[in-house]
């Protein structure tokens, strides 16, 4: 017999949970409110909560007898899993109560949006002309799913029923699904660029936070539509509002939004009573208010799960999880996401033809020298010796980084690695100094000015970029694109330039503006980083190759 507290309990929950536990000798209590440090009973052994509650470390530590947290939901991002594990508390979820329920709701939102249903339903009372109600068909449109789990798969099936074309992205694709459900997997950026409608069905993890970021929203097709029934944190809400406001996106339908508890009037009122409103909550509150006023946006209050059948399945499974636990069975136990992050490998491109002659190259396209090609192969050998398989590789738009990268991957016999070019990694633009010989410039400018230009933080070059400007493009790219991959456990190799790598290292190693002058990214090095969840250096090591010419 155990003492169970059910939080967030509705009348329907009470009825169904009481039925499910009737035959047991457990004792249970219902609390309609969400869990809070002020509404705990220290004797509680089991708590059961819905997504509206957040179980913090403080709550777990205030319940010394707590053994089990039974989530009445699929997602469990609202639990401090690390604290639960540390205190020997098991966490269970309801893995599959409503794949069809949520997928049907995603299409409910989509149809309401493309057929302008909220406006259509107001026509009787208001002067709204037929032309304002003109919608679009789904048939023939390309529907993209992010996350091909239970709900994503159902969504793809429904899209097939509407004769839509389908694409999907998953960090852990199951290729066999493609034939069965008639879709093709694509890389995330390709999916984002190609779809008319994107529906998100991935979990919220550190690696999926803002997976739909500003850059991806901008690369969506003009007029495209975003549907989110997964978790609000997967989308950068401020960037979404910008993309809608500028007219780039055609619309959005969201059942989940960052700070969604503020959709409740009670939460807003409680917030107003607090003396110190956190800045992020204030921002989310304004974002939600803006979204609710936009004519091409539908916001619903985390309601996708809410059918009588699904709620019944949730409560039956949550109760069964509790009953089973006391018999030693934990079929639906959830585990913290893997703590093993991927490695970040940084290399400066090998010697180019202009490096050989001492010219400032900047963004001019110059091939590798013969020595440079040889160095790339040595880099590849070093990579092979490291025994680190590369999952994805990035280079700048300058051909010398791509040639280095291809040489490395070939020599390390990693032929199937995707190479992605991104302008954020480009070399610093040297403006009017491009093509000038560095050593002649040193004579001309004097050593001090020359060193400031080469190594300084915010030193202007006529018509060119400062290192600060390079930093301002490299670091957002790193945080939004590279870091999520590292947090998913992928090893990422970046081949870039002296300055773009220095800018990145400044961030990784928290180097001050004053000290950046002392940082040099040498030719012939691969730096291997382990990163923290925030993307900063946790550890690093350096591998060097011999850069003396082959026949010297």
Q: Which range touches ligand NAD (CB under 6 A), out of 22-30, 213-221, 229-237, 240-248?
A: 229-237
User: Is the CB of 152 or the CB of 380 nearer to ligand NAD?
Assistant: 152
User: Is the CB of 226 or the CB of 521 nearer to ligand NAD?
Assistant: 226
User: Is the CB of 224 or the CB of 334 nearer to ligand NAD?
Assistant: 334
β-strands 297-299, 251-254 pairing: parallel
In angstroms, what is the minimal distance from the CB of 200 to ligand NAD?
A: 8
Residue 209 binds to ligand NAD (criterion: CB under 6 A): no
Six token digits for residue 486: 């590292």
In angstroms, what is the minimal distance from the CB of 4 to ligand NAD?
A: 23
Number of residues that bind ligand NAD (CB under 6 A): 31
The set of residues, in sequence order, having a beta carbon less than 8 Å from that of 260 and lying 6+ positions away, is 232, 288, 301, 302
Six token digits for residue 153: 């798969």
- Which residue out of 72, 201, 284, 302 is catalytically annotated? 302
From start to end of 406-533, where are the E strands? 418-421, 492-496, 525-531
CB 151 within 8 A of CB 199: no
Place of tokens 């980084």: 401
Does 61 participate in catalysis according to the annotation?
A: no
User: Is the CB of 28 or the CB of 107 nearer to ligand NAD?
Assistant: 107
- Which residue out of 45, 233, 260, 406 is catalytically annotated? 260
- Written in H, E and C, the secondary structure of 90-154 is EEECCCCCCHHHHHHHHHHHHHHHHCCHHHHCCCCCCCCCHHHHCCCCCCCCEEEEECCCHHHHH
**Could you tell me how far CA 246 lies from the centroid of its own chain?**
23
The correct pick among 16, 44, 48, 74 for binding ligand NAD (CB under 6 A) is 74
| Spatial separation of the C-alpha atoms in residues 492 and 420, rounded to whole Å | 11
In angstroms, what is the minimal distance from the CB of 204 to ligand NAD?
A: 6
Residue 402 binds to ligand NAD (criterion: CB under 6 A): no
Largest Cα–Cα separation, the chain: 91
Q: Residue 290's closest CA among 247, 226, 245?
A: 245
Helices (H) and strands (E) in the chain, counts: 21, 18
In angstroms, what is the minimal distance from the CB of 305 to ligand NAD?
A: 4
Would you give the binding string for ligand NAD spanning residues 83-102, x where CB under 6 A is met?
---------------xx--x
From start to end of 334-391, where are the E strands? 344-348
- Written in H, E and C, the secondary structure of 164-207 is CEEEEECCCCCCCHHHHHCCEECCHHHHHHHCCEEEECCCCCHH
CB 170 within 8 A of CB 144: no
Applying the rule CB under 6 A, the residues between 33 and 72 that interact with ligand NAD are none
Q: Which range touches ligand NAD (CB under 6 A), out of 8-16, 195-203, 443-451, 461-469?
A: 195-203
Would you give the binding string for ligand NAD spanning residues 133-172, x where CB under 6 A is met?
-------------xxxxxxx----------------xxxx
In angstroms, what is the minimal distance from the CB of 229 to ligand NAD?
A: 4
Q: Return the SS3 of 78.
A: coil
User: Is the CB of 263 or the CB of 411 nearer to ligand NAD?
Assistant: 263
Six token digits for residue 522: 């040498």
User: Is the CB of 55 or the CB of 171 nearer to ligand NAD?
Assistant: 171
Does 215 participate in catalysis according to the annotation?
A: no
Kindly report the backbone phi and psi dihedral angles of residue 199, in degrees, each rounded to the nearest multiple of 5, phi listed first.
Answer: -120, 130
Six token digits for residue 415: 């032929």
Does 313 participate in catalysis according to the annotation?
A: no
In angstroms, what is the minimal distance from the CB of 64 to ligand NAD?
A: 30
In angstroms, what is the minimal distance from the CB of 444 to ligand NAD?
A: 51
Q: Which range touches ligand NAD (CB under 6 A), out of 175-183, 226-234, 393-401, 418-426?
A: 226-234
User: Is the CB of 81 or the CB of 356 nearer to ligand NAD?
Assistant: 81
**Could you tell me how far CA 9 lies from the centroid of its own chain?**
31
| Spatial separation of the C-alpha atoms in residues 269 and 302, rounded to whole Å | 19
In angstroms, what is the minimal distance from the CB of 418 to ligand NAD?
A: 15
- Which residue out of 201, 209, 231, 497 is catalytically annotated? 231
User: Is the CB of 313 or the CB of 400 nearer to ligand NAD?
Assistant: 313
In angstroms, what is the minimal distance from the CB of 110 to ligand NAD?
A: 14
Applying the rule CB under 6 A, the residues between 241 and 270 that interact with ligand NAD are 255-256
Instruction: Write down the H helix ranges in 416-455.
Output: 438-445, 447-455
The correct pick among 2, 48, 108, 207 for binding ligand NAD (CB under 6 A) is 207
| Spatial separation of the C-alpha atoms in residues 437 and 361, rounded to whole Å | 9
Residue 202 binds to ligand NAD (criterion: CB under 6 A): yes
Six token digits for residue 351: 């010697």
Applying the rule CB under 6 A, the residues between 488 and 547 that interact with ligand NAD are 488
CB 461 within 8 A of CB 427: no
Position with the least CB separation from ligand NAD: 149
Would you give the binding string for ligand NAD spanning residues 288-307, x where CB under 6 A is met?
--------------x-xx--
- Sites of contact with ligand NAD (CB under 6 A): 74-75, 98-99, 102, 146-152, 169-172, 201-204, 207-208, 229-231, 255-256, 302, 304-305, 488
Catalytic residues: 231, 260, 302
């Amino acid at each position: 017999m155990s003492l169970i507290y059910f939080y967030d309990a509705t009348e329907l929950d009470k009825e169904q949970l009481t039925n499910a536990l009737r035959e047991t000798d457990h004792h249970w209590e219902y609390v309609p409110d969400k869990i809070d440090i002020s509404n705990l009973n220290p004797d509680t052994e089991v708590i059961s909560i819905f997504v509206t509650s957040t179980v913090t470390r403080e709550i777990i530590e205030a319940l010394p007898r707590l053994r089990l947290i039974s989530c009445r939901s699929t997602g469990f991002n609202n639990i401090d899993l690390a604290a639960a594990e540390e205190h020997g508390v098991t966490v269970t979820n309801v893995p599959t109560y409503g794949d069809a329920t949520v997928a049907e709701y995603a299409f409910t939102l989509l149809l309401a949006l493309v057929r302008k249903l909220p406006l259509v339903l107001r026509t009787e009372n208001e002067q709204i002309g037929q032309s304002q109600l003109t919608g679009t068909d789904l048939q023939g449109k390309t529907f993209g799913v992010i996350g091909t789990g239970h709900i994503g798969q159902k969504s793809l099936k429904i899209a097939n029923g509407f004769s839509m074309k389908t694409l999907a992205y998953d960090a852990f694709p199951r290729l066999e699904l493609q034939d069965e459900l008639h879709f093709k997997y694509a890389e995330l950026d390709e999916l984002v660029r190609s779809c008319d409608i994107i529906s998100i069905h991935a979990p919220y993890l550190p690696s999926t936070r803002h997976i739909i970021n500003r850059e991806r929203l901008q690369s969506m097709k003009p007029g495209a539509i975003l549907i989110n029934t997964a978790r609000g944190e997967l989308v950068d809400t401020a960037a979404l509002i910008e993309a809608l406001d500028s007219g780039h996106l055609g619309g959005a339908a969201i059942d989940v939004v960052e700070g969604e508890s503020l959709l409740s009037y009670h939460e807003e009122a409680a917030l107003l009573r607090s003396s110190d409103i956190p800045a992020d909550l204030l921002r989310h509150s304004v974002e939600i208010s803006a979204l609710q006023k936009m004519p091409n946006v539908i916001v619903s209050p985390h309601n996708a799960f809410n059918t009588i059948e699904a709620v019944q399945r949730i409560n039956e499974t949550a109760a069964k999880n509790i009953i089973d636990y006391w018999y030693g069975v934990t079929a639906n136990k959830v585990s913290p996401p893997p703590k093993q992050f991927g490695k970040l490998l940084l290399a400066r491109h090998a010697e180019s033809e202009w490096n050989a002659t001492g010219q400032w190259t900047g963004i001019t396209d110059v091939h590798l020298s013969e020595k440079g090609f040889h160095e790339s192969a040595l880099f590849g050998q070093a990579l092979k010796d490291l025994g680190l398989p590369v999952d994805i590789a990035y280079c700048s738009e300058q051909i010398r980084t791509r040639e280095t990268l291809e040489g490395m991957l070939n020599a390390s016999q990693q032929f199937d690695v995707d190479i992605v070019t991104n302008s954020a990694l480009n070399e610093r633009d040297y403006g009017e100094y491009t093509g000038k010989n560095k050593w002649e410039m040193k004579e001309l400018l004097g050593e001090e000015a020359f060193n400031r230009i080469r190594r300084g933080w915010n030193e202007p070059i006529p018509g060119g970029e400062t290192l600060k400007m390079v930093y301002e493009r490299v670091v957002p790219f790193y945080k939004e694109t590279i870091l999520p991959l590292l947090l998913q456990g992928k090893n990422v190799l970046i081949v870039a330039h002296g300055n773009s790598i220095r800018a990145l290292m400044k961030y990784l190693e928290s180097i001050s503006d004053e000290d950046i002058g002392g940082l040099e990214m040498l030719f012939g090095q691969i730096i291997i980083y382990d990163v923290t969840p925030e993307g900063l250096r946790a550890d690093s090591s350096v591998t060097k190759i011999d850069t003396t010419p082959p026949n010297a």
